[in-house]
Amino acid sequence: MTIKLYYFPSNASLAPHILLEEIGAPFELVLIDRPNNQHKSADYLQLNPAGVIPTLVDGDIVVTETAAIMLHLADKFPADQLIPPLQTAARAACYQWLIFMTNTLQAELLHYFYPERLGGERDADIAMIKANATARIMLMLDILESALVRSGGPFLVGAQYTIADIFLFMMCRWTRNMPNPARTRPMLNQFLNMMSTRPAVIRMHEKEQLLKPWY
């Protein structure tokens, strides 16, 4: 049965989309009309009670949350070696950076893009929330820059390309219009330039019709 990825361009579905392109197994993209709140419709909420994007349907298995989807796919297709072997230092590092990005960096980016969710109604409140979030995001990008230096590169766990790198590419893309975005850091810029040449990343951009700058 064909895997289905419910997505919206450049949303948190971007990383699972790249991963599916890397794996090469048959899959179907199902576009969710986010501007018209299709992700809050009764049909979609049956799949994803949180009403967020993405959702992956793999036969009888329904997986929500981007990191969980990526872990599921990496385990389902072990031959592609997109996650290091169990009980290795590389596997632990992959977990560490994936969880750091989804729990810490992604959460802070949501504060930046949706400051009103924190209760800011006045322009001054929104500006303060965005400024504080920006400062924290910059520190998190510095941590990821240092991680690439320590790993010896070119990837977060060293020589092996993993799902953590795909997630990192998505996070960096979201900073592209911020002050001091990810690409201003030498190792992250090298990483992004390399990622942008991967056929899977190019196919994702073509299918989602994303315009440059990609990051």
The structure's pTM equals 0.96
DSSP 18-67: HHHHHH---EEEEE--GGGTGGGSHHHHHH-TT--S-EEEETTEEEESHH
Determine the pLDDT at residue 98.
Answer: 98
Q: Which domains does the chain possess?
A: 3-80 (3.40.30.10), 89-198 (1.20.1050.10)
Do the Cβ atoms of 113 and 176 come closer than 8 Å?
no
What is residue 176's predicted lDDT score, i.e. its pLDDT? 97
The mean pLDDT of 32-45, rounded to a whole number, is 96
Query: DSSP of 102-149, one letter per residue?
Result: IIIIHHHHHHHH-GGGGT--SHHHHHHHHHHHHHHHHHHHHHHHHHHH
pLDDT tens profile 112-124: 999 988 876 788 8
List C-alpha distances in Å: 169 to 79, 120, 132, 215.
22, 29, 23, 8
Q: How far, CA to CA in Å, does 153 sit from each of 22, 132, 158?
A: 20, 30, 5
Q: Enter the DSSP assignment of 78.
A: G
Residues whose CB is less than 8 angstroms from the CB of residue 100 and which lie 6 or more positions away in sequence, other chains included: 140, 143
- How far is CA 39 from each of CA 12, 20, 36, 80, 209, rounded to the nearest angstrom? 13, 21, 8, 31, 20
What per-residue confidence (pLDDT) applies to 213?
A: 85
Q: pLDDT per residue over 165-178, tens digit each?
A: 999 999 999 999 99
Q: What is the pLDDT confidence band of residue 181, given thresholds at 50, 70 and 90?
A: very high
- CA atoms of 120 and 127, how far apart (whole Å): 9
Contact 136, 112 (CB under 8 A): no
